[in-house]
Amino acid sequence: MSLVTTIRKSLVPIHREGYPFIAAAVVIALGLLLFSTFLGMLAVGLAIWTALFFRDPPRVTPVREGLVVAPADGRISQVGLARPPRELDLSDEPLLRISIFMNVFNVHVNRAPVTGRIERLAYKPGLFLNADLDKASEDNERNGLIFSTPYCRIGCVQIAGLIARRIVSFVREGESLGAGERFGLIRFGSRVDIYLPVGTRIQVAEGQLTVAGETIICDLAQPQPRDTAFRVS
């Protein structure tokens, strides 16, 4: 194996959405280095961070039927009952919502939480509040998806944050995805919410770190409790 091949395989892949930003950061860094070493090195650091932000590492998704996996890398900031966004037309009643907050150092490529068909896509412009705030679910710019599965309909909402200014979607209505497949990304800090039926027995808790496409949220194929209170096991 050649040295070039070895180096290439050891590097984390970069998503193509990041190429223009990385190129711009590199040009700026090279330009500043001609005038100021200090400013140039700061710009080099920014270029490296930009490349890391758009990294897209491979993931190994569990393949058991009925599993719901995390759609984003980050920290589970909220677990509780909440009404899904109206534009999704998912439910008029509160559902079990799991919110995953992504900071600027997390991988920002989002992955399908389940295997299913995208029944609905709904984009809504809005504000750019801190994505960790509860009201960000209602006020911030967002892009929602409904996944239709043999077990139930599941909502997944990308929410822009304080720094985020662009939600990118890779999919269309009617398209079928496998759990762990890429469906979009959010540039520069944000949050992803998952909406599940009330009573779903989840396997995660607030404060837990998640890995998109790998961390198991719940198993829909397992018998669920019949009462209406959400459960954390």
Statement: residue 98 has pLDDT above 70? yes
Catalytic residues: 190
In this prediction, residue 136 has a pLDDT band, given cuts at 50, 70 and 90, of: low
Q: Which residue has the higher pLDDT, 2 or 171?
A: 171
Over residues 118-138, mean pLDDT: 71
Statement: residue 21 has pLDDT above 60? yes
In this prediction, residue 229 has a pLDDT band, given cuts at 50, 70 and 90, of: very low
Statement: residue 8 has pLDDT above 70? no
Over residues 124-147, mean pLDDT: 71
d(C-alpha 219, C-alpha 157), whole Å: 20
In this prediction, residue 183 has a pLDDT band, given cuts at 50, 70 and 90, of: very high
**pLDDT value of residue 233:** 42
Of 80-84, 121-125, 204-208, the least confident: 121-125
